[in-house]
Amino acid sequence: MSEVNAIDAAPKAGRKEWIALGVLLLPVLLVSMDLTVLYFAVPSISIDLQPTNTEQLWMVDIYGFVLAGLLISMGSLGDRIGRRLLLLIGALAFGAGSVAAAYAGSPEMLIAARALQGIGGATLMPSTLALIRNLFQDQTQRRTAVAVWSTGIAAGAALGPVVSGLLLNQFWWGSIFLINVPVMVLLLALGPILLPEFKAAVAGRFDLLSAALSLLAVLPVIYGFKRLALEGFEPVPVACAVVGLLLVPVFVLRQRRVDHPMIDPALFRQRAFGPSLVTNTFATFLLVGYSLFSTQYLQSVLGMSALEAALWTVPGTFAVGAAVPVATILVRKVRPAYIIGAGFALAALAMLMLTRLPVQDGLPWMLVGIIVLAVGLAPVLTLVTELVVGQAPPDQAGSASALLQTGQEFGGALGIAVLGSVGAGVYQNSAALQAPAGVPEAALEAARQTLGGALAAARDLPGPAADTLIAAAREAFTTEVHAASLVGAIVMVVAVAYSMITLRSVQNDTQRAAEAPPAPEPERVPVPDLPLTRH
């Protein structure tokens, strides 16, 4: 059988499916934007609403926590009630939460509105990826669609601070939420027309106990890991992480015992399903965890404004847009394991380069590092996403998508915890902050906690002492970046070995086509001999 015929065995998507993909990009962009959209608005919100430190923390974090905790439940729910229906319900919830956030009159109201946005986001993300699985049956087309989807996520995360900064220059802080509303209205209008409905033929009852266990397992782990990076090994974040991790096997045991599990254990018998999830976690570990250092370096070491720093990260998004299509073309001839391994190796090289980042005039180093990191890891995320979604049966696409995205949240939180803890330890013990000349001990105590603490302490010092303290803190933080970069490089080398070993059996498109069974011949119906009739 020819390669073309083998690849053509699956039905091809037409113009309607590609237009539907464009509709699915609307919620993807907004959900990823809303993870970063508060970066500029917090000072304005703090002036108007006067939140406590704890309330301000929850205003920023509650959206991501709720989204991560509900992904598995919402993915399974979409398989049961219909992915399009869940998508539209999520769009309505996200839009309502956006309006409530824009006009919030108290910190508590804003936190509740952000939580509602998180609920909507948790329905939107797995629904979009599951619908892509159903719309694009052909693997090559599906991989291209997933690449577009992945680029949309990267673009949304990069554009969040930029859009936020531009809006806040012209309007009040509520505008960063109201911009979501017309997009959600457009999705509600176009979705029923352009998106077909898909749901599992036999999915069984929705298991409320499994949903509760997934929430209780995921949410404390992600909360604990993120707090560990900020607070160190304090009892509360450690206890949260431990409790969540202990509940993971309880959730797995529940899935093995129920007739209609939220996550079918049979998925992990697919040869590349589990390894792809782990590979995905490796990628988000570094991509999310390292973002703490790149943004702080640009703002606090190089002295950029938040908007200026956000604009300097945009080239990385364009690099992703160029790299991902190249990977989808290469995989037709090259095994995915080699492309993924090369992507991790490229990320490791970026990290090694950033171990030489200078304290001054380091913008070219950081920009090149960010771009190379993005170019290396974006194809990894795209290929493993297609591997996970493509191996899941269409009836379980929502659950598989949710599991993939939960792994991304877990990897990001783990990256923040590990890299953040390593960096904090190096910063606090840096030789630069031991005894800089002319700086009083009280200011040094604050400076040794964080770079932000050092900059705040310097404002209360006379000129020469302030300059000395700022220079010392920036040197210490740059040393912190070096340490985090080295750890990131080591993790990426481990990821290279893991992906090359566990995914080596996955074939490229040409090999898959050559070994595909021939398409069945159409059944021929015998035609009886009829007597000739003379007219």
**How do residues 403-454 score in pLDDT, each as one tens digit?**
888 888 888 888 888 888 888 888 888 887 777 777 777 777 777 777 777 7
On average, the pLDDT of the chain sits at: 81
Give the burial class of 403: count Cβ atoms within 10 A of its Cβ; 0-12 exposed, 13-18 middle, 19 or more buried.
Answer: buried
Distance (Å, whole) CA 55 – CA 48: 13
Among 181-190, 274-283, 309-318, 496-505, name the one with the lowest average pLDDT: 309-318
* Average pLDDT of span 293-305: 82
Position 497 pLDDT exceeds 90: yes
Q: Which is higher by pLDDT, 215 or 506?
A: 215
Which pLDDT value is given to residue 515?
Answer: 59
Torsion of CA 379, 383, 389, 391, to 10 degrees: -170
Give the tens place of pLDDT for each residue, 48-82.
Answer: 888 876 777 788 778 888 888 888 888 888 878 88
Looking at per-residue confidence, does 344 or 32 come out higher? 344
Check residue 6 and give its pLDDT: 40
Torsion of CA 276, 282, 283, 285, to 10 degrees: 140
CATH for 12-205 (1.20.1250.20, 3.40.1080.10, 1.10.10.10, 3.40.50.1860): 1.20.1250.20
Residue 499, pLDDT score: 92
pLDDT at 223: 81
Q: Which helix (H) or strand (E) holds 68?
A: helix 53-81
Give the separation between CA 227 and CA 231, rounded to whole angstroms: 6
Q: Residue 470: which pLDDT band, with cuts at 50, 70 and 90? A: confident
161: nearest Cα among 55, 58, 250, 294:
294
* pLDDT of the residue at 8: 45
Residue-level pLDDT at 2? 38
Q: What is the pLDDT of residue 13?
A: 67
Query: What's the pLDDT score for residue 264?
Result: 78
Using one digit for the tens of pLDDT, what is the confidence trace for 228-243? 766 677 788 888 888 8
Asked whether the whole model's pTM tops 0.75, one would answer yes
Query: Can you tell me the distance from the alpha carbon of 117 to that of 219, in angstroms, rounded to the nearest whole number?
Result: 16
- Residue 161 pLDDT > 70, yes or no? yes
**The pLDDT value given to residue 341:** 93
248-275 average pLDDT score: 82
Q: Is the per-residue pLDDT at 177 higher than 50?
A: yes
- The pair of structure tokens assigned to 321 is 């847009």
Please give the Cα distance from 324 to 514 (Å, whole number).
Answer: 25
On the question of pLDDT at 275 being above 60, the answer is: yes
Residue range 266-515 in CATH 1.10.1380.10: no
Confidence label for 394 from pLDDT (cuts 50, 70 and 90): confident
pLDDT tens sequence across 119-134: 888 888 888 888 888 8
